Structure 1
Amino acid sequence: MKKDQLFTRRRMLIAGAAVLGAAGAAGTARVLTAEPAARPASVPLGQGPQLRTALKPSAFRLQPMAGYGPPRHRPVKTAVRREPILQMSGSGRRMVLTFDDGPDPRYTPHILSTLREYDVRAMFFVCGEMAVDNKDLLREMADDGHIVGNHTWTHPQLTELSRSAIRREIERTCEVIDDAYGEPPAWFRAPYGAWNRNTFKIGAELGMEPLAWTVDSLDWTTPGTRTIVDRVEEGAAPGVVILSHDAGGDRSQSVRALREYLPHLLDSGYHITVPHRKFV
C-alpha cells in the first residue's frame, strides 16, 4: 500500500471516530440536561378531595441510582441558631398546623383523614418510640405531603441530659424516619419547648432546623373540644404555628376539634401550609 493511501485511510478513521464521539456526547448531554416532566397543576387548598389529581409526593421522591442522572441538590449547611423558629415569614394569610408525640394508631389516622379531606398539609413531630412500630403511618404522612419532624425518642427534658444522651435521643429518631420512607427529617422540635446550646448544635449537625410554636392549643390537658377550637381560632393570624397533639394520651378531643376549626379557618381565608427550606 502506498504511503499517501495509508495517510488517507488514517484520516478517514480519525474523522469517523470524531463524528461518533460528538454524537455520543450530544446524546449524553440531552439525558443530563433534559427538563423534568411537568407536574399536574396544584389544587387550591380547601376545595375538597374530589379535585385531587396530583400524584402523591412519594412519586417525586424517587431519585436516580448513584452515578446516573443529575446530582441531587444538597441543603445549605444548617446554621446553629440561638432560639427556635416561632412562626413563618412572608406575606399572605398562611398558617402551620403541627401535631406532636405520635404517631398513635388510635388517633393519627383520623387526623390524617381530616387533613386529606380538606387537601391540607401539616407537620408531625414524631417520637421514635412511637414511630418505630408505626412506620406505615410515617409513610402515609409523607405520601400525603406532610412534613415529618424529629421530636426525640422518649420525649425527655433535653436540657437535663448530657450532650451524648441528647444526641442518642435525636439520632435514633432520625434513623427511624429515614428508614420509614427514605428521607431524614429536616425539622426538629424539643420536647416541652426546652432548648439549650447543645440541642441547637446537635440538631444543626444533623441537618435540622428548630421549630417551636406561636399558639399552644393545650389540647394535652383535655380541656374539652370547644375550648381547643376556641384557642386555635382566637390565635389564628398570618404566620402563626399551632401546636396540637396526636398522641401522648386520649386525643379524641384533638381529633374532633380539628374537624371543627379546620373548615372554619379555610372559610376565613387562611391557607394552611408547611414551611419550605431553601436548597442550593
Structure 2
Amino acid sequence: MQKDQLLNRRRALITGAAVLGAAGTAGVLVTSGGETPARPAVPAAGAQARRALRPSAYRLQPLTGYGPPRTAPARTLVRRAPILRVPGRGRTMVLTFDDGPDPRYTPQVLDTLAHYDVRAMFFVCGEMAVRNKDLLARMADEGHVVGNHTWSHPLLTRLSRAQIRSQMTRTSEVIEDAYGERPQWFRAPYGAWNRAVFQIGAELGMEPLAWTVDSRDWTTPGTRTIVGRIEKGAAPGVVVLSHDAGGDRSQSVGALRRYLPQLLDSGYHVSVPRRRLM
C-alpha cells in the first residue's frame, strides 16, 4: 500500500513537471481556476537558455492587412476656369440661389423645393449665414448643398490674397458650424475669377462653380420674364443662377413656384452635383 502511494506521487510529480515544461515552451500558464494567467517560467541559465520573446506589437493592435492601402487625401484640382455645366444622365439640371440666407425669402424657397421634393444649391455669404444659422441647419436636414460665396460679397479680383483667404475661410467656418460640414463648392461674387481665387479655393477643398443660365432676377424684371429666361435656357446639365437675398426677391420666389413644376412636368430632373463626377 505504501509503495503504491509512493509510485502514484512520483507519477504525479513527473506529470506536473511535463505540464510545466509544455506551458513554459508555449509561453503561457493558466491557473486551475482559468481566471488569471501566470507568468511563464524563466529558463535555466546555460548554453541552451534563450531569452523569452516579448509579444509582437501587432498582436496588440487590430490587423489592417486586408483593408485598402492608406493614401493621402487627393488635393482638389486647381482649375483655370469655373465649372459651368454638370454631367449627369438624362435631363438633369441644377438650381442655385445666391447671397442668402435671408429670413424673408429663403424659407419660401425652401418650402417650394420641399413641396416638389427637389434639392438645390445655396451659395451663402458669411455675414448673412452667421445671423441665420437655423436656415443652414434646415438646408442640411432637407438635403440641399451649401456653397461658399465669400463673407461680404466683394469683388475678389480687387483684393489681396490674404483678403481673399479671409473672405473664404471665415465663411467656411460658419458653414461648418451651422450646416455640419465644410463647403465643397464656392462661387465668386459677380462671376469675377482670377488665379488667386482658384488657388485659394482649391487649398480650402472647394471646386469653383459658376452658371449656365442667368435668370437676372436681381434686376427685378418681373416674374413672367424670370420664368421665360429659365424655361428658354433649360437643357441637360445646365446650372441656373437665381437669388434668395440681396434685395427684394419676391419675384424670384414667385418665379420658382411657376417654373419648377413646369420643368418637372417636361421631364427634367432637378438635382445637385456630386464632386466625384466633376
**Do these two structures clear the TM 0.5 threshold for a shared fold by scoring above it?**
yes
Q: Is the Cα–Cα contact under 8 Å of residues 75 and 278 in structure 1 kept in the other structure? A: no
1:4 offset after TM fit, Å? 1.6
Q: Could you tell me how far apart the structure 1 residues matched to 2:74 and 2:121 are?
A: 21
**Matched position secondary structure for 2:123:** strand
1:12 offset after TM fit, Å? 7.4
For residues 121-143 of structure 1, what are the alpha-carbon distances to aligned partners after superposition, in whole Å with 9 as ceiling and x for unaligned?
Answer: 00000000000010110010011
Indicate the residue corresponding to 1:50 in structure 2.
Answer: none
Q: Could you tell me how far apart the structure 1 residues matched to 2:134 and 2:224 are?
A: 31
Q: Could you tell me how far apart the structure 1 residues matched to 2:208 and 2:193 are?
A: 9
Q: Is the Cα–Cα contact under 8 Å of residues 103 and 247 in structure 1 kept in the other structure? A: yes
Indicate the residue corresponding to 2:104 in structure 1.
Answer: 106
TM-score computed with the length of structure 1 as normaliser: 0.77
Q: Could you tell me how far apart the structure 2 residues matched to 1:130 and 1:73 are?
A: 37
**One-letter identity of the residue aligned with 1:5:** V
Indicate the residue corresponding to 1:274 in structure 2.
Answer: 272
Indicate the residue corresponding to 1:260 in structure 2.
Answer: 258
Q: Could you tell me how far apart the structure 2 residues matched to 1:14 and 1:116 are?
A: 64
Q: Is the Cα–Cα contact under 8 Å of residues 82 and 200 in structure 1 kept in the other structure? A: yes
Closer, same or farther in 2 for the Cα pair 1:73/1:141, shift >3 Å?
farther
Closer, same or farther in 2 for the Cα pair 1:74/1:253, shift >3 Å?
farther
Indicate the residue corresponding to 1:4 in structure 2.
Answer: 18
TM-score computed with the length of structure 2 as normaliser: 0.78
Indicate the residue corresponding to 1:183 in structure 2.
Answer: 181
Q: Is the Cα–Cα contact under 8 Å of residues 229 and 257 in structure 1 kept in the other structure? A: yes
1:222 has 2:220 as partner:
yes
Q: Could you tell me how far apart the structure 1 residues matched to 2:197 and 2:233 are?
A: 28
Q: Which moved more, 1:181-190 or 1:93-102?
A: 181-190
**One-letter identity of the residue aligned with 1:126:** V
1:249 offset after TM fit, Å? 0.2
Runs of 4+ in 1 over 6 A off after TM superposition: none
**One-letter identity of the residue aligned with 1:166:** I
For residues 68-94 of structure 1, what are the alpha-carbon distances to aligned partners after superposition, in whole Å with 9 as ceiling and x for unaligned?
Answer: xx9x99853101100000001233100
User: What stretches of structure 2 of length at least 5 have no aligned partner?
Assistant: 1-12, 35-58
1:189 offset after TM fit, Å? 0.1
Q: Is the Cα–Cα contact under 8 Å of residues 76 and 278 in structure 1 kept in the other structure? A: no
Q: Could you tell me how far apart the structure 2 residues matched to 1:75 and 1:278 are?
A: 13
**How do 1:129-148 residues align onto structure 2 when only pairs under 5 Å count?**
129-148=127-146
Larger radius of gyration: 2
**Matched position secondary structure for 1:247:** coil
What RMSD in Å do the two structures reach over aligned CA positions? Answer: 2.7
Q: Could you tell me how far apart the structure 2 residues matched to 1:220 and 1:13 are?
A: 79
**Seq. identity, %:** 69
**Matched position secondary structure for 2:80:** coil
User: What stretches of structure 1 of length at least 5 have no aligned partner?
Assistant: 18-24, 34-69
1:244 has 2:242 as partner:
yes
1:10 offset after TM fit, Å? 4.3
